[in-house]
Amino acid sequence: MIAPSFASRPRESCGVLGIYAPGTNVARLTFFGLYALQHRGQESAGIATSDGSRSYLHRGNGLVSHVFNEDHLKILQGHLAIGHNRYSTTGASRLRNSQPYLVETALGPLGVAHNGNLTNAAVLRRELLYGGVGLISSSDTEVISQMLAGAGGETWRERIGVLMDLAEGAYSLTILTRDAVYGVRDPWGFRPLCVGRLNDHGWVLASESSALATIGATFLREVRPGEVIRLDHTGMTAWQGVDPKSDRSLCVFEYIYFARPDSLLEGRSVHQVRRRLGERLAQEHPVDADMVIGVPDSATAHAIGYANQAGIPFGEVLIKNRYIGRTFIQPDDRLRRRGVALKFNPLPDLEGRGKRIIMVDDSIVRGNTSRAIVDLVRQAGAAEVHMRVASPPIRHPCFMGVDMSTHEELIAARMEVGEVASHIGADSLQYLSVEGLLEAVEAEKGGYCLACFTGEYPVPAVAAIGKDMFESW
């Protein structure tokens, strides 16, 4: 468990990877690819490989660097691999829920790594159970694996088609079979997935282009909504597994917060979009001030954009502890009152003394961190603190895999903007408009899931997914 105050940003579940590289042992490359996707999930990591006849799997809890050692890489033989980083959206970390999921099937071994959330998982799960399949975990990934194992069809291509006909919601998958790696993206395109070339003979599928860059692969293109990519000895083959939905719906939070700034999304630099978000925010909500700061490190680019646009100097007042690790040790009451001081420290008040400060954050979910940060900035001597948020108020829960699933936890669902401002103790608070957001993304029209801002869900919202019916390890 992280100390409470450390976990107040929207959290996403998972990064996926797939590699086909004949003549190579790909486990090492997969390791470094997962290393580059570590920001998408720190709960558990895993790699499954195939050497064309047998399959191998290693998974564990913790960071990629913690889960794997050289002995594990030696076991992970083969030239095909999929990998996964997971952020648990449940409280406990259960090895049983970690990925990839690897099963034997009538068509041979099958491995699945999944980023997203099926909105009809409960229905699919019930169908499997009543179809006579016992399930060992509460994960969508096991549901997907057993659906593929039990789907009609003599080929994996057919079975993937069946899956895509039935599954609803967000899924970017990499799939390992005996002799091929597949990439599958849901027809709405909620979660990113792209493909690259690895020197002359290999290909790589990854959640983000930055993972390609890290392992020396060249970005080719994104996988299209509803598309399936197969990588095998015939090269790369692509087809529409299911028609793309008319309301294409990339999660806009990938731009705002999730993706690495050095990733390319839809041909755009995530870093540049973040600067434009800040610029646009400055246009919509200017305020007279002496300094612009960002909440480190995620809002730095947004803050630089705001500062440049506003012509107000960019500065630093909050310092982030670089070496913070997970601890189960709780602060006592006095320390608790000091709140986030463990994660952020204000510069001595020489820095901010008497200044009017604009503090830019990328988003506000629950509001507790914001409150503590405003307090820290005041401790640093600020005369005024104006909070500017580079995304609209989050008023609706997400059912597509982002860890904000109830109205209650969303401060903007419970309070007006003015109330939020006084709750967090800011002199003023303004959010970017939805229009501003889309303009900054340079989206011509639609194409994004904005449900958490607007309440308009691309797929019908479903009953809350039941908790585990059993606890195991």
Site residues (CB under 8 A) for a second copy, limited to 226-245: none
Residue of 148, 160, 181, 452 that binds a second copy (CB under 8 A): 148
Q: What sign does the dihedral 175-176-178-180 (CA atoms) show? A: positive
Question: Does 194 participate in catalysis according to the annotation?
Answer: no
Residue 336 φ/ψ, nearest 5 degrees: -60, -40
Residue closer to a second copy, measured from CB, 119 or 210:
210
Residue of 9, 58, 276, 366 that binds a second copy (CB under 8 A): 58
Site residues (CB under 8 A) for a second copy, limited to 252-281: 260-264, 269, 271-272
Site residues (CB under 8 A) for a second copy, limited to 410-449: none
Residue closer to a second copy, measured from CB, 219 or 448:
219
Q: How far is the CB of 339 from a second copy (least distance, A)?
A: 11
- The strands making up 291-294's β-sheet, listed across from edge to edge, are 291-294, 356-361, 384-389, 428-431
Residue of 332, 416, 445, 463 that binds a second copy (CB under 8 A): 332
Residue of 284, 316, 409, 439 that binds a second copy (CB under 8 A): 316
Residue of 65, 90, 155, 422 that binds a second copy (CB under 8 A): 65
Q: What tokens appear for 49 in the block?
A: 């490989």
DSSP class of 297 = T
CA atoms within 13 A on the CB side of 267: 2
Q: Does 464 bind a second copy (CB under 8 A)?
A: no
Q: What tokens appear for 137 in the block?
A: 């975990």
Q: Does 93 bind a second copy (CB under 8 A)?
A: no
Site residues (CB under 8 A) for a second copy, limited to 168-227: 209-210, 213-216
Residue closer to a second copy, measured from CB, 96 or 245:
96
Q: How far is the CB of 94 from a second copy (least distance, A)?
A: 10
Residue of 335, 417, 461, 464 that binds a second copy (CB under 8 A): 335
Helix (H) or strand (E) holding 434: helix 434-441
Count of positions on this chain that bind a second copy (CB under 8 A): 101
Q: What tokens appear for 112 in the block?
A: 């699945």
Cα–Cα distance, 175 to 112 (Å, whole number): 5
Site residues (CB under 8 A) for a second copy, limited to 288-307: 297, 300-301, 304
Q: How far is the CB of 261 from a second copy (least distance, A)?
A: 5
Residue 102, number of CB atoms within 10 A of its CB: 21
Cα–Cα distance, 338 to 375 (Å, whole number): 9
Residue closer to a second copy, measured from CB, 54 or 407:
54
Cα–Cα distance, 188 to 271 (Å, whole number): 24
Return the biggest CA–CA distance within the chain. 72
Residue closer to a second copy, measured from CB, 332 or 416:
332
Residue closer to a second copy, measured from CB, 259 or 281:
259
Site residues (CB under 8 A) for a second copy, limited to 106-135: 106, 108-110, 129-135
Residue of 154, 322, 445, 463 that binds a second copy (CB under 8 A): 322
Q: Does 162 bind a second copy (CB under 8 A)?
A: no
Q: Does 321 bind a second copy (CB under 8 A)?
A: yes
Are 237 and 244 in contact by the 8 Å Cβ rule? The answer is no
Residue 70, number of CB atoms within 10 A of its CB: 7
Residue 293 φ/ψ, nearest 5 degrees: -125, 160
Q: How far is the CB of 182 from a second copy (least distance, A)?
A: 16
What secondary structure does DSSP assign to 388-441, as a single string? EESS----S---SSBS---STT-HHHHS-HHHHHHHHT-SEEEE--HHHHHHHH
Residue of 1, 324, 417, 461 that binds a second copy (CB under 8 A): 324
Residue 143 φ/ψ, nearest 5 degrees: -60, -50
Residue closer to a second copy, measured from CB, 46 or 226:
46
Cα–Cα distance, 51 to 49 (Å, whole number): 7
Residue of 1, 75, 461, 464 that binds a second copy (CB under 8 A): 75
Site residues (CB under 8 A) for a second copy, limited to 346-385: 346-348, 350-351
Q: Is the preceding omega at residue 261 within 30 degrees of 0, hence cis?
A: no
**What value does the CA radius of gyration of the chain take, rounded to a whole number of Å?**
23
Catalytic residue among 14, 398, 449, 452: 14
Piece of the chain touching a second copy by CB under 8 A; list 66-74, 116-124, 186-194, 434-442: 66-74
What secondary structure does DSSP assign to 88-108, as a single string? -SSSS--GGG-S-EEEEETTE
Residue closer to a second copy, measured from CB, 317 or 449:
317
Q: How far is the CB of 414 from a second copy (least distance, A)?
A: 30
Helix (H, G, I), strand (E, B) or coil at 463: coil
Cα–Cα distance, 327 to 335 (Å, whole number): 15
Site residues (CB under 8 A) for a second copy, limited to 28-47: 28-29, 31-32, 35-36, 38-39, 42
Q: How far is the CB of 237 from a second copy (least distance, A)?
A: 24
Q: Does 61 bind a second copy (CB under 8 A)?
A: no
Of 279, 342, 250, whose CA–CA distance to 6 is shortest?
Answer: 342
Cα–Cα distance, 76 to 327 (Å, whole number): 31
Helix (H, G, I), strand (E, B) or coil at 285: coil
Residue closer to a second copy, measured from CB, 379 or 428:
379
Q: Which residues are catalytic?
A: 14
